[in-house]
Amino acid sequence: MRIPLYTNTTRNKEAKKTMALVTSKNMFARAHAGHYAVGAFNVNNMEVIQGVCEALSEANAPGILQISKGARDFAGMPFLRGLMQTALEVYPNLELCVHLDHGPDFELAKACLDDPIFTSVMIDGSGLPFEENIALTKKVVDYAHSMSTPKVVEAELGRLGGIEEHVVVSEKDAFLTDPDEAVIFVEKSGCDSLALAIGTSHGAYKFKTEPVLAFDIIEEVSSRLPGYPLVMHGSSSVPEEFVNLCNKYGGQIPNAKGVPEAMITRAAKMGIDKVNIDTDIRLAITATLRQFFAEKPSEFDYRKYFAPARTAVKQMVLHKLNVLGCAGKAVQ
């Protein structure tokens, strides 16, 4: 994969003029009206940021790069901020939002809101009792909306199964979003978008048997909050091709199962405007590296394997943008 580079200063200045981060507000309004969804991709390092941006650029799709607390701990914000800024210079025409994924508390949400690189944050109070989740979310929303350049806030109601920020949510602790509560939650907290628990979970083991999603919840919330942006976490489809490659070359991820792509497209048509993807990126990279190491055991120039891993991320994201229906939908 070729990463475009600006070597000419005039062009660089031109790029700086046009680059701008946006919030997700306008992206979501168009996605809702057009019955498609915007992809939100978790990023932790340079190669993934490059792969995702290259795909967004090639497909002319709007996109969200999201940074979790884990990503901040791994790479550190100075590096992540620098990489994001560079991405904006290299891809000046991207319609891009940078978002905090699963903000655990007010302090981190505020720190990200105060950081110019973020235009959007998630405050995840889904583990709290209903009223406490509302109160925490409202506190973040009030802060974000009162900024001189207002930013946007995603919240979560209901509890996904799987692993969130290293806290394992067991199946018995997971519960689906109650549409009545969702309406009250949005009204009282003022959040700009809401993540629903509809049967997905984080990670590569989403279903023990046939995948089932609660489409009725999307339908119900959508009809009671017309035009309101809904979010689906845990949306990786865990492609068989990656799982098989991992397992063929020494991996041990048996019985991994994700959300079938047809279900993602259906959810997008029904009112899901943001679809979160992290696991599929991890699988694309791991499958590529495992195959490479097995086939070329004497190679130790890391560029030789990080380059195809980055290309695998790009190809996976390009495919996903078509599944979501957001290819060709960017506005500059």
Q: Which is nearer to ligand 13P, 69 or 233 (CB)?
A: 233
In the set 24, 50, 68, 133, which binds ligand G3H (CB under 6 A)? Answer: 68
| Among ligand 13P, ligand G3H, Zn ion, none, partner that 32 touches (CB below 5 to 8 angstroms by kind) | none
Q: Which is nearer to Zn ion, 138 or 233 (CB)?
A: 233
Shortest spacing between CB 58 and Zn ion, in angstroms: 26
Distance CA 23, CA 106 (A): 19
Q: Which is nearer to ligand G3H, 70 or 251 (CB)?
A: 70
Q: Does 203 bind ligand 13P (CB under 6 A)?
A: yes
**Is 101 designated active site?**
yes
Q: Does 70 bind ligand G3H (CB under 6 A)?
A: yes
What DSSP designation does 175 have?
B
| Among ligand 13P, Zn ion, ligand G3H, none, partner that 73 touches (CB below 5 to 8 angstroms by kind) | none
| Among ligand G3H, ligand 13P, Zn ion, none, partner that 310 touches (CB below 5 to 8 angstroms by kind) | none
Distance CA 253, CA 194 (A): 31
SS3 (DSSP) at 301: coil
Q: Does 278 bind ligand G3H (CB under 6 A)?
A: yes
Ramachandran angles phi, psi of 177, nearest 5°:
-70, 135
Map the footprint of ligand 13P across residues 92-121, applying CB under 6 A: 101-102
Q: Residue 1: in which H helix or E strand, if any?
A: none
x-or-dash string of contact with ligand 13P, 252-281, rule CB under 6 A: ------------------------xxxxx-
How many CA atoms lie within 13 Å of 94's alpha carbon, on the beta-carbon side? 26
What DSSP designation does 2 have?
P
Q: What is 226-264 written as a DSSP string?
A: TT--EEE-S-----HHHHHHHHHTT---TT-B---HHHH
Taking CA atoms, 60 is separated from 53, 57, 96, 321, in Å, by 10, 5, 11, 10
x-or-dash string of contact with ligand G3H, 184-203, rule CB under 6 A: ------------------x-
Catalytic site residue from 73, 101, 124, 178: 101
Shortest spacing between CB 278 and ligand G3H, in angstroms: 3
The two tokens of residue 313 are 């991320």
- Closest residue by Cα to residue 121 from 135, 137, 216, 197: 137
Sorted by sequence, the CB contacts under 8 Å of residue 298 that are 6+ apart come out as: none
Q: Does 237 bind ligand G3H (CB under 6 A)?
A: no
Map the footprint of ligand 13P across residues 25-44, applying CB under 6 A: 42
Q: What is 69-122 written as a DSSP string?
A: HHHHHHH-HHHHHHHHHHHHHHSTT--EEEEEEEE-SHHHHHHHHTSTT-SEEE
| Among ligand 13P, ligand G3H, Zn ion, none, partner that 219 touches (CB below 5 to 8 angstroms by kind) | none
| Among ligand G3H, ligand 13P, Zn ion, none, partner that 71 touches (CB below 5 to 8 angstroms by kind) | ligand G3H
* Three-point CA angle 293, 299, 300, nearest 5°: 100
* Three-point CA angle 84, 314, 260, nearest 5°: 115
The two tokens of residue 216 are 């009725």
Q: Does 165 bind ligand G3H (CB under 6 A)?
A: yes
Shortest spacing between CB 101 and ligand G3H, in angstroms: 6
Map the footprint of ligand 13P across residues 221-240, applying CB under 6 A: 233-236
- Active-site annotation, residues: 101
Residues that bind ligand G3H (CB under 6 A): 42, 68, 70-71, 101-102, 164-165, 202, 278
Residues that bind ligand 13P (CB under 6 A): 42, 101-102, 202-203, 233-236, 276-280
